[in-house]
Amino acid sequence: MKLLSSAPGKKIVLAIVDGHLPQDHGIDQNSILVTNCKYRLGDISPDQFETFPDSWYGQYHGSVSIDDQKTPHWGYNCFIARMDVFRQSWLYQLLRRDLFKNGLISFTMDLSRHLMYGQCTPDQSAQDVFQQQFEQQLAIFHNEHQVIKHQVPYRNFDDRLALNEVVMDTKCSLVLETWFHDNVLITYSEKTFRALKLPRPWLLFSTQYAVQNLRDMGFDVLDDMVDHSYDQQPDAVVRQSMILDQLQAISDLDFDHATKIRLQTAAQHNLKRLSEFYQSFNHDVVDTIKRATQRLEARS
């Protein structure tokens, strides 16, 4: 979205939720990016953007309807919608690690991004793209591909169930964030906050220091139950492997009474934190755009 400022020929560009770099929008001296992304300074000039404050994430406030006494039957959940090479590799890795049979998994093969960026043609099926990505970049997963290629798109739970219900029937959420491939920024979507609000452990595949940033914002990330050391790893492939190691461990977690109480405490704390953010959300958004306008109009 582009907002014109009062200065002729100058504009404010709003880019929200997905990862965006200023150069993706042609940001120059006549424009400024306002975004929820947190950029690593040194990689991106602070003159190019204005970041919404943490209260931006207050939009994800609100309790969820769950049976918080439920004992999970499955080891973990993992919901994969988009079709890209890295997300496809997660499917293969779950098979290779012998984790596939213990999870509630969806791999729905959304091709909208491929079509948007010309990475496939309208006459190609999702199965065609799946095969093409395997042949061109994922051939090391030959055995796993042979197992799964005739089962995709894949879902082993009732699609009429709310995702919250699916999460509560598992011991851990494996969250694959929208933006994970470039450590220049940190950004979150509803996927992360669903995990924070539910009384279940979670592992977050995002960019480096995404978990630390949640910690800094005051969320309980369950450090006493989950080893989030993967969060410090700059390489996405290594980070993926470290997360899979943790997933194997958490899938065997004993959900006794003390564990349930600890998880409920964390979820309630995170709900409260999001509610606090929500209280100042509207004011902070308006204030951020005002600051961006002033910075933009002050440029010669």
pLDDT for position 12: 77
Do 54 and 136 share a domain, yes or no? no
Lowest mean pLDDT among 124-128, 141-145, 207-211: 124-128
pLDDT at 171: 96
Does residue 142 belong to any structural domain of this protein?
A: yes
What's the chain's length in residues?
A: 300
Asked whether residue 69 is domain-assigned, the answer is no
Q: What value does the mean pLDDT take over residues 169-184?
A: 94
Predicted confidence at residue 114, as pLDDT, reads: 83
Looking at the fold, whether 257 and 289 belong to one and the same domain comes out as no
Total number of domains in the chain: 2
Same domain, 23 and 131: no
| Mean pLDDT score of the chain | 91
Q: What's the mean pLDDT in 6-33?
A: 77
**Greater confidence, 100 or 19?**
100
More confident residue, 65 or 75: 75
Q: What is the CATH number of the domain that holds 200?
A: 3.40.50
Lowest model confidence (mean pLDDT) among 60-74, 190-204, 237-251, 264-278: 60-74
CB of 120 closer than 8 Å to CB of 111:
yes
Q: What is the DSSP letter of 234?
A: -
Domain contains 270: no
Residue 190 clears pLDDT 70, i.e. is over it: yes
Torsional sign, CA 288, 293, 296, 300: negative
Question: By residue range, what is the domain housing residue 36?
Answer: 2-59+281-298
SS (H, E, C) 103-170: EEEEEEEECHHHHHCCCCCCCCCHHHHHHHHHHHHCHHHHHHHHHHCCCCCEECCCCCCCHHHHHHCE
